[in-house]
Amino acid sequence: MIEDVKIIVSNDVIKRMTALPAAVQTKALEFMLKFQTDPRSPGINYETIQGAKDKNFRSVRVDQNYRGIIFRAPKDNVFIWLHIDQHDDAYSWATRRTMSVNPVNGALTLTNVGFVESTVQRTAAPRASQPEPCYGACSDRDLMALGVPEAMLPAVRTIRSEGDLDAMQDELPVEAYEGLFLLLAGDALSGILASRETRVDRPIDTEDFATAAERDESRSRFYVVEGENDLQEILSAPLEQWRVFLHPTQRRLATRSLNGPSRILGGAGTGKTVLAMHRAKHLASSLIGAEGSSGRKLLFTTFTTNLALDIEDGLRSICSPEQLKRIEVINLDALVFRLLKAQRYEHEIAFDYEARCAPIWDAVMVDFDSALGVSREFVREEFEQVVLARGLETRDAYREAPRRGRGVILSRKKRDALWELFENYRLQLSAKGLKEPDDAYRDACAILAKEAEPRYAHALIDETQDFGPQALRLIRALVAPGANDLMFVGDGHQRIYAKNKASMSSCGIDIRGRARKLYLNYRTTEEIRRAAVSLLEGIEIDDLDGGSDEITRYKSLMHGPAPERIQGASMEAIRDGVLEFIRQCLRENADNTIGVMAPTIKLRDQLAKQIRESGLKVATVNHRERLSRKDARIFAMTLHRAKGLEFDAVAIVVNRELDESLRKLVYVGMTRAKRMARMYTGLT
Ligand SMILES: Nc1ncnc2c1ncn2[C@@H]1O[C@H](COP(=O)(O)OP(=O)(O)OP(=O)(O)O)[C@@H](O)[C@H]1O
């Protein structure tokens, strides 16, 4: 590579590369090598394209049939490889498009001018009683600030409904599509720009393609080649887009310095884990050779064990060995277990409530007096949500404790009676050498408080919605307050351990001014997303910090068939239906992965057995297992285990009433599906 030349490749080329016939792929890689070494080499013959709308487009020969389309900027030796296809298709593609720099947000944009012309023509004749254009109140500058390329403005001006906007999605930069749908949802332009932190207040040199390429907006679709080998690596392996092309908000949040703890919310599949992984990489590189960090690492923690394993795999695919050495990925329970064990903690942490604690709780509850006027379930919830969550240790503390959200007022007498049960339970647990996890977290916090140095330089926390107050306090104690200390990502819609509801600010974590959102769903089709969201209707969702969150502003980038919901089938009919669904998915593509999910282990095993008996290979997903290591396409799991995973298709079987907690579980399960989903309810 040579210093004074900038080489850029579009995501379109990278995507198309893997779909090319093998022989063409080899030729394309050979061309890339030549191009990367010196795009001005006399060995590369740039052909002018007759009739091209952009006079800087050229075609280059990849092999006898295939042509690459290159944009050569008028100055500064910037070369952008935009497209690759068979000769005629490549030429026809090139004649319809132009490259430019957005004069307001400074992003590199590629516009399909052919599409703009045909859209304007098609909509020119007024239709009877058609709605007003959606963006009549926005100036051209407003629309360009959102990311609409100047040449796309006439097409965007024709949009009169959400459907019109969706039909334009493929032709718009991702941030423009997102901005336009947020406007339709009722957000103010200033609010959208502020939360994205897009600069629209500086003069933009629209001839300066080199500078434009470095902006976060451009990097969501253009890759700037940096080293000798990186592009070779990217092009020769099937590329997962997320490794290279981030949404501008993902990139900004991954790389910017934040003056304290931050919280990123986003519905299922909006790329929160991806953002956190890129931030881990970014912060880890700043730890390399950093003075004064005393060798402290970055902690990446999650709630579920399986997700931690997947994250480890993901990080390995984007980080250098040096960066990896500075990152520790571990689920919080495992971290606490290790921390306490190293201190010769004399209790075992009872992570499995049902097996270890429930019998002791039940024995203590023999003394429960129903004259107290509360249910047995209420007592357990009171213990979890007030006593454990607040870490109350004395009767006096319980007497004084605020019980917001508990619904029932308890007199002092009743509290004292309940405290006796709670105290007795803790004593009995302790006598058996056990501690509830929340109490163990609190003990771990006390140990950390005595240490001179915080254990980690930074922490990234995934699945924040499932961490309770004691866990959050512990996380706070693991890292010293300061710049880039903590980043939490999560989604209240996916809270499936209801007892773990916490407000970050009451745990000493102040995110004011550093709370952001991701809106675009990269995983699920819009049809599946909508079906999943409809399950949550009427359920109040929190923002992990005592406020509320809503789900109306999310959107998926893909479309597909609506999920089927089948009510009231017998187990035999379900078995046949699930098998038929699996076969259909595998017929479409033998490489498709399929998740079969149920609320209980018993039902999961029953379904797995039936699938196996039909001659198909199915793997069961258990605690602490990496999906990637399993030799199967079909996976059976409980809905709890499905968290954080993804499959091409998902079949869910539910054998009990869809109450609030089950609806949330099914929401999590269904949003694991990339393209197809089917759900059975009301087993007869
Ligand atoms: N910038 C991106 N470009 C392309 N794909 C992306 C991008 N960001 C995320 N994805 C893909 O979208 C899917 C969801 O991403 P991710 O798991 O990070 O979402 P999430 O918000 O953590 O989801 P959930 O909360 O449902 O577990 C993954 O397949 C990921 O590879």
Q: Can you give the CATH number for the domain in which 579 is found? A: 3.40.50.300
Kindly write down the DSSP assignment for every residue of 309-360, as one continuous string: HHHHHHHHHHS-HHHHHTEEEEEHHHHHHHHHHHTT-SSEE---IIIIIHHH
Measuring from atom 13 of ligand 1, which residue has the nearest CA? 523
Task: Classify residue 40: in a domain, yes or no.
Answer: yes
Concatenate the DSSP letters of all residues of 151-192 into one string: GGHHHHTT--SHHHHHHTGGGS-HHHHHHHHHHHTT--HHHH
Residue at 614 is within a domain: yes
Q: Is residue 535 part of a domain?
A: no
Grade residue 661 by pLDDT with cuts at 50, 70 and 90.
Answer: confident
Q: Are residues 374 and 457 in the same domain?
A: no
| Residue 386 reports pLDDT greater than 80 | yes
Please give the backbone phi and psi of residue 141, each rounded to the nearest 5 degrees, phi first: -60, -40
Do 669 and 581 lie in one domain? The reply is yes
CA 257 – CA 628 distance, rounded (Å): 33
- Which residues have CB under 6 Å of ligand 1? 240-242, 245-247, 250, 266, 268-274, 491, 494, 522-523, 644, 646, 671
What is the percentage of the chain residues whose pLDDT exceeds 90? 67
Does 543 map to a domain? no
Does one domain contain both 220 and 95?
Answer: yes
Share of the chain above pLDDT 70, in %: 96
Q: What is the pLDDT of residues 52-90, one digit of tens each?
A: 999 999 999 999 999 999 999 988 889 999 999 999 999
Ligand 1 centroid, distance to 255 Cα (angstroms): 17
How confident is the model over 225-235, as pLDDT tens digits? 887 677 777 76
Mutation test residue for ligand 1: of 15, 242, 251, the one with most atoms within 8 Å of CB: 242
- Shared domain for 217 and 173, answered yes or no, is no
- Can you tell me which atom of ligand 1 is nearest the CA of 518? 21
Same domain, 16 and 57: yes
Highest mean pLDDT: which of 15-19, 97-101, 438-442, 627-631?
97-101
Q: Which residues are annotated as a binding site for ATP?
A: 266-273
Residues 313, 452, single domain; the answer is yes
User: At 113, is the secondary structure helix, strand, or coil?
Assistant: helix
391 and 469 in a common domain: no
How many angstroms separate the CA atoms of 9 and 22, rounded?
A: 20
pLDDT of residue 305: 84
CB 174 within 8 A of CB 220: yes
Mutational pocket test of ligand 1: of 15, 234, 264, 273, the residue with most ligand atoms within 8 Å of the beta carbon:
273
**Overall average pLDDT of the 210-223 stretch:** 94
Domain match, 96 and 132 both: no
CA 303 / ligand 1 centre spacing (Å): 17
Residue 1 lies in a domain: no
478 sits in the region (left: phi over 0; alpha: psi -120 to 50; else beta) called alpha
**Which of 174, 178, 274 to probe ligand 1 with, by most ligand atoms within 8 A of CB?**
274
Domain count, the chain: 5
pLDDT at 179 over 90: yes
ipTM metric: 0.99
Q: What is the pLDDT of residue 292?
A: 57
- How many other β-carbons are positioned within 10 Å of the β-carbon of residue 449? 8
Ligand 1 centroid to Cα of residue 521, in Å, is 7
Tell which of 402, 435, 468 closes a domain. Answer: 435
Q: Range of 277's domain?
A: 237-341+441-521
Q: Which atom of ligand 1 is nearest to the CA of 491?
A: 25
Say if residue 565 is in the same domain as residue 648. Answer: yes
Residue 255 to residue 252: CA distance in whole angstroms: 5
Q: Provide the pLDDT for residue 345.
A: 87
Is 555 inside any structural domain?
no
CA of 248 to the centre of ligand 1 (A): 14
Average model confidence (pLDDT) across the chain: 91
Q: Please determine, for residue 629, whether its predicted confidence score (pLDDT) is greater than 70.
A: no
Q: Are residues 124 and 62 in the same domain?
A: no
230/251 same-domain check: no
pLDDT: which is higher, 36 or 258: 258
Same domain (yes/no): 167, 91: no
